[in-house]
A and B are shown apart, each in its own frame.
Chain A
Amino acid sequence: MVKLIKSIQAHKDKAWSVSSHANLPLLATASTDKTSNVYNLSKKKNFPLITKLEDTHKRSIRTVAFKPPLGGEDTPDTEFIDLPALATGSFDSTVSIWGVDEPEEDFDEDDEDEQGKLDKQVQLLTSPQNEWNLMAIIEGHENEIKAVAWNYQGNLLATCSRDKTIWIWETDPETLEEFECISVLSEHDQDIKNVTWHPTQNLLASSSYDDTIRLYKQDEADDDWSSVGVLNGHEGTVWCSSFEHPKSLSASQEKIRIVSCSDDSTVRVWCCKTKKLTEEDYEKSKALPSSIKHSSTMTWEEETVLPKIHEYSVYSVSWSRKTGKIVSGGSDGKIVVYKQSPDSEKWEIESVQELSHGVTEINCVSWCRLDDGEEVIVSAGDDGNINIWEP
């Protein structure tokens, strides 16, 4: 059973989405009340509010996403201080970018050891004293933004909308000053509910009202983004998807996997076999001209449907990079944790939490890390609350 460790009355209206920072204990929220809150993910400090981002969007904020650290989560660039920044997307069809100013205190002042310096940095960057500024407003979509997502290096931002398009914006992850649209993808027949990036490569997935999931990659030859796969199987709107982290316990080097959830009340796992290049293959491929070297399509298949337990639409799904477990949440208010048996590879339900947000619906579930390293599930509900659960 998951155990509730904190319920934050974050918003006066629906809480739609949450996002946590990859290596700082920060959590951001998005709500119909047109605000976005940032909290410190610290049990010891009782999850204090750090800032409220408001007076910018004219309609509901539907989505929020923290920018990954400079250099990526796994190989952070330590030369620069990575200031936390995030993107919010709204039904008002704009995306706004927020970030903190560099704290005035000097980081290198004292000659503490590395760990001491790091701790101090975290403390400074998560301090409620920091000024959060609106850095940019991105316009372009015709109507409601449904999701925003950063690639693992933080130099690409994908946004999707009811206008049936995905826009990929390129930026300098250090300054976040300009966002240049480098691609508009319009493969879906209907509105696009969600976009999500692979955690270690530039592979993008989108979930749609047209019941499909699509995958996109950049062509190595001409830099163009194009659809490299479509996943058919759901019998209703696909609300959300989440990639398996290649370093998670359940991951295999030979396949890429993604989990998705839908109006059809199912949660499905899809996989794409990736052939590992042998030395010989590599030599062969080097000899080929670049235009044929990059095979443009990926072959995806449905691996399994997770044990069915949800009653209604499943709105959100998240794959833990730590344990490889999957969590789902939706209209029936259940938070369901699934795990894959290491022997049989069969997925089973580990726990079910009923009525996680009273009698209201869950809009988002996400695996997040607290300041002490503990992994928790954070959920956002129609009651405006953000609940934090020990798995």
Chain B
Amino acid sequence: MSEDVINANPTVIDVSDLPTRLITKPKKNEFLEDISSLSLSEPELSDMETDEDNEDIDAQEIFDLLATMSDPEHPLTLAQLAIVNLPDIHVKNIENGLSEVLIKITPTITHCSLATLIGLGIRVRLERCLPPRFRIRIFLKEGTHQSENQVNKQLNDKERVAAACENEQLLSVISQMLSTCK
């Protein structure tokens, strides 16, 4: 990261004030994940998805998957910076067996040039953790960014995301963001 921080003084939420269902565990040492494991197409089934493929996944679980991701420029998590917020996550089941998760992210400042990167990181995290029946839709919260539509369109363009995920440089940044995930 460059020394010119885009938002030098963000508001930080105390971790103990974040919504949770997880029992607090002592923090494990997390290793940087192997880039090759970032492949989008073979989503790893996360712990909660075992035999019961259709076990409901709710907003809190999605929040937990994202809350501990790191911000690309601060040594803080997306939840601490209130970029990802529980009330802005919506999960629904669609009649034919598909599910949808809709997330609205709140960039820390309206001209945040890292909004696309954060959104992409969230998409990679969810595509790796959620079963393939999920359709993931990521938007910037209305009025939180000056190029909202542009960023939204990019984040939800399957082909652009697929191409971006073949960019080694970008992948290593995302992998840094994911290295703090629990």
Chain A positions within 8 Å of B, measured between CB atoms, are: 13-14, 32, 59-60, 62, 91, 143-144, 146, 162, 191, 193, 209, 237, 263, 311-313, 315, 331-333, 354-355, 358-361, 382-384
Closest chain-B Cβ to A291's Cβ sits at a distance in Å of 41
Which chain B residues in 96-115 approach chain A with CB under 8 Å? 96-98
* Bound CA span A383–B41, Å: 8
Answer whether residue B4 sits at the interface, using C-beta atoms and an 8 A cutoff: no
In the complex, the answer to whether A313 meets B158 with C-beta atoms within 8 Å is yes
Query: What residues of chain A lie closer than 8 Å to B39, measured between beta carbons?
Result: 13
Count, A-B residue pairs, CB within 8 A: 59
Query: What residues of chain A lie closer than 8 Å to B162, measured between beta carbons?
Result: 14, 32, 60, 91
Selected contact of B157 from candidates A59, A209, A384, CB within 8 Å: A209
In the complex, the answer to whether A237 meets B157 with C-beta atoms within 8 Å is yes
Closest chain-B Cβ to A171's Cβ sits at a distance in Å of 27
In the complex, the answer to whether A355 meets B132 with C-beta atoms within 8 Å is no
Closest chain-A Cβ to B72's Cβ sits at a distance in Å of 23
Closest chain-B Cβ to A10's Cβ sits at a distance in Å of 13
Query: What residues of chain A lie closer than 8 Å to B133, measured between beta carbons?
Result: 359
Query: What residues of chain B lie closer than 8 Å to A315, measured between beta carbons?
Result: 158
Selected contact of A60 from candidates B42, B98, B163, CB within 8 Å: B163
Selected contact of B41 from candidates A13, A191, A312, CB within 8 Å: A13
In the complex, the answer to whether B163 meets A32 with C-beta atoms within 8 Å is no
* Apart from the given pairs A91-B166, A144-B163, A360-B132, 18 other A-B contacts in the complex at a CB distance below 8 Å: A13-B41, A13-B42, A14-B162, A59-B163, A60-B166, A91-B163, A162-B163, A237-B153, A263-B156, A263-B157, A311-B98, A315-B158, A331-B158, A332-B96, A358-B132, A361-B158, A382-B41, A382-B132
Chain B positions within 8 Å of A, measured between CB atoms, are: 39, 41-42, 94, 96-98, 131-133, 135, 153, 156-160, 162-163, 166
In the complex, the answer to whether B132 meets A312 with C-beta atoms within 8 Å is no
Q: Contacts A32-B162, A59-B166, A359-B97 given; indicate if A331 touches B41 (C-beta within 8 A).
A: no
Q: Contacts A14-B162, A313-B158, A354-B96 given; indicate if A359 touches B132 (C-beta within 8 A).
A: yes
Query: What residues of chain B lie closer than 8 Å to A332, measured between beta carbons?
Result: 94, 96, 98, 135
* Bound CA span A162–B131, Å: 30
10 cross-chain pairs, A with B, having the tightest CB-CB distances, nearest first: A359-B133, A13-B41, A354-B96, A59-B166, A144-B163, A91-B163, A359-B132, A360-B132, A14-B41, A91-B166
- In the complex formed, the residue of A with least CB distance to B99 is A359
* Bound CA span A82–B166, Å: 37
Closest chain-A Cβ to B41's Cβ sits at a distance in Å of 4
